[in-house]
Structure 1
Amino acid sequence: MNDSNDPPRKFLLRIGQITPATYGTYEKQFDATVQAYKAMETIKAGSSIGGTGGVIMTDTFNRTASELVGSTSSGGQVWDGDSGGFWTADGSVAHSLNGPRNLAVNALTPNATITGTVDLVTSASGFSPNMRFYVGSNGKTTATSTTHLFAQLAVSTTGVGNLSVYKRINNVLTQLGTTDFSTGIPGTSATPQKATVKVELAIQNLTVTLTPDGGTPKVYTSTITEADYAALGTWAMVSTANNTADAARLDSITIETPYTPPILSGIEVWNGAVGGTNLTYQKDRLELLYPAATKFDILFVTGGHNKGTATPASFITEVDGFVAAFKVAHPETKIVISSQNPQKAPATTGVAHAARQSALRAYAMDKGYEYLPVFEAFTAQEDKGLSLIIDTDGIHAKYPGYPVANAGLTSLAWSGSVLWASVWLDAINARRITNFRPMTALPPA
C-alpha cells in the first residue's frame, strides 16, 4: 500500500473531489531504500488558514529617499510615523537630524522585537545625541504616545556611549535600571562605531541586548507589571533626539512579532507501508515513521498478506504489539483497524489469510477500535471480489488502468483499490448521516 496506485491515494483523490476548493489532500510515502519519507506530494492543492507574525518590517536603507515615512522599505513594507522630511536615506544609512521624529510600524501586538544597527559617532558634542527603539507604543508618533517601552543608545556630553532602558506608562516616565556607560563602544571617536540594539517584549518580560561591532553582547532584563502591559499599545518605533550633528545613524532595522505558522486546510497521509513487510518492521521504526513530536489524528492499521501460514493468534499478537508501542508515543491518536482484500490462486495462503482477517475484526471489536470491513466488502461482491484481485499473484488489488503501470494514477475507475477506498469513505459518510428513514423495527442481526 505504498505507491500511487494504492487505496490511500484513491481515498485522497475522492476526498479532493467532494471537498471545497480550499481543502487540500497530500501524501508522503516512506522510502525503505533511504529509510526516510519522500517529499510530500500534493494531490489537490488547498489553502492555508491563519498564520501570524514573523518579520513585519525590515529595511537596509539601500535607497535614496528625501522622506522615509510613506516610503517602501527594502523588505517591501511601508513606513508610517512622523518625520516631516527629517528621516532620510542616502543609499547606505538613514538619517534624522531633528527630533523627536520617528519611523513606525503597527505590530498589531505589544509583543514585538525591534533590532536596529546604529552607526554612532562618539565625539564629545555636549548635546548627548541618542537613538531610541520603542515597543508597545500606544501611538505612532513620539508626540502622541503616552505609553511605551524603549531602549536608548546615546553618547554622553563627554563622548561616552551609553545605554538606558525606560518605560513610560500614562505619561509617567520611569527608568528601568541605571544607565550603563560600560557598553564596549569606543568613546570620543569621530569614526562611526557600529552597534546593534535589540529590544524584545514577551508579555511582562523586557529584554534588551546591546552588541558592539565585534564585541560581546550585553543583556539587560526587566519586568513590567500586569497593569503596565495592559496599558501598552501595538506600535514599534525608532526615533532620535539631540541629533543635529548626525551622530546617530540607522544602518538597518528589523521588526518582528512571535510567529504562529499557518494551519494547512486539508488532510495529510503519512504512508508508512512498505511492501513485503509485517508490522514488526514499523514497530522497529516508530520514531522514524511516526515522530513523537508530530500529532497524528488517526492511525490506520492493516496487515496480513505477508504472514504466509501464520496463525491468527500470532498475527494478532504482532498487531497488538505494534499498536501498544505506537500509543506510548501517541496516546491521543484514534486507532482504526482495516482488514484487507481476500487472496485467490495462485496464492496458496488464502485460507490462513482469511482466518487472520476474521481475527483482526474480532480484535478491533474487543479493543473498541473502529473497524473498516474491506475483506467483507470484497467477499460481498457477486464473484466474491475475485475479479478485483490481480491474477498473476492472487494477492494485490487491481488498480485503475491495470495491468498498465501508472495508467490510472488520477483515475477512480472501479477497481480493487477503489473498492478499498470506498469502504473507508463509507465509514466517514456514516458519521455524517443526519437524515434517517422512518424506523419501525430493530435493525437486522
Structure 2
Amino acid sequence: MTDGGALTIGAQATYTLTVTNIGQNASSGVITVTDPLPAGLSYLSATGSGWSCSAVGQLVTCTNPNSLAPGAASVISLNATVLAAAYPAVSNIAALSNASDLNLANNTTGDPLSVSGTAAVSITPASGSGAQQVFQAVYSGAQGYQKIRWVQLLFAVAPNGGGQAFCFLHYDVQGNAFWLYSDVFGFFVGPVTPGVASSALQGSHCALNTAGSNVSGNGANLTLNMAVVFKAAAVRNVYMRAMDMTDFDTGTVQRGTWTQVAAPLSNLTVSPASGNGASPTFTLTFPDPPGFTGSALGWEEFLVAAATDGGGQPFCFVHYDRAGNGLWMYSSDVGFFLGPVAPGASSNALSSSACSVNTAGTTYQNVSGNLLLNVPLTLKAPMSGTKQMYLRTMDALSRDTGWQQKGAWTIP
C-alpha cells in the first residue's frame, strides 16, 4: 500500500493498493481485498481494472475473479475523505485473501500517515503588561484560512474562566464579525465588523476597540490584530482556539500570559474653574478613552453645590445623556429630572428656583478625543454664596468616575 503523502483534515486521502503474485503459479479463484477504514477516514470510492468494490460502513471490500499470472500485479485506487477524528495521525491496514495462496505471511499491508489540522499558532506579544495593547493572533487553516469557521482569544486564569472575571473575544470568520462574551450580561454581544467604530463589545474586564482592529488572511494563515483595552487589573493566561468548516476544534490552548493594568479614568475639567457671577457659561471637558472617541454611550454631569449631596442647600444639577443627545436638569422643586432638551434647541423647560439652563446656547462637540460641553447657566438668588463645582461621567467603557471637585464659583 502506498499513499499520496501527509493528510489534511477535510481533504481527500488516496491509497494505492497493489496486489502482486510473487509465487510460481497463476492464482485461481476470486482474489479479495478488505480494508476496514480507521475512524477518521470516510469511504469515497475504490476502482481498479477487473475489481468490483463496495463499502459497508467502514469496511471496504474489493473482489477480482480474474487469474493473476506469476509476477503480475493488479492495482486498486482507494479514495477517502479525511475527518477530524483522524488527527493527529491515522494508520490504514488492508488484507488479501485467495484460496490458491498458501503463503499468508505477506497478505497484510499498513500505511501510517500524519494528519495536519487547523491550528491556533501564536499570539504577539506573548507576555507583558499594560492597559492597552494590540494583540496579533495567528491561526492556520488546514485547507486555507477561508475554511476556518471561527477563532477565539481568551484572557483568563483557566480555560473555563476559573471562577474569576475574564475577557473573551470571538471572531466569526465566515460572517467577518467580532463578538465579545459579556460577563455582565451573560451572553455574547455583537456582531461588529472589523474597522467599524463601536463601544458595544465590552465586559467587566475589557473592551475591544473595533475601529482599531483588523483581520487579514494569506494562504493558510488568518491574522487578527485586536486592540484590547483592559478595565481591571489582573494577571491572566492568554488562550487561543479555532474551529474550521469540517468541525475540527483545536480546543483551548495557552499561548501566553498578560498582566492587565486598568486603563486610567478621565481627568475632567471645567473652565473657568473659579470666578463669580449669576450668568456664567462653563466649558466642560470630558476626555474619551483612547480608541472610543465620539462614542455615543454614557453620560456627563455637572453639579454646582455646597457638596456632592447638595449639602442641604439649593444646587444646580445638569445631566447630558450622550446616547440620546439630551440635556436634563434635576429640579429639587419637583424632585425629579426635567427634560430632555437637545443642545441648541430653544426651551425654558430646564428651570427651577435654583437655576436654569440656556438650552439654545448649549453646544457640544468632539475635539481631539474630548467631549466639550458649553453650558450657559443662570444661577438664581437662592444659590447665593460660594459653591463648589463637580464633574462626573459614565464613559464609553461603562466606568463611573464618581464626583470630581474641579472648581468653585461665587453666586451674588
Greater Rg over alpha carbons, structure: 2
Which structure carries more relative contact order (alpha carbon 8 Å, separation 6+)? 1
Question: Structure 1 or 2: larger helix share?
Answer: 1
Q: Same fold (TM over 0.5)?
A: no
Question: Structure 1 or 2: larger strand share?
Answer: 2
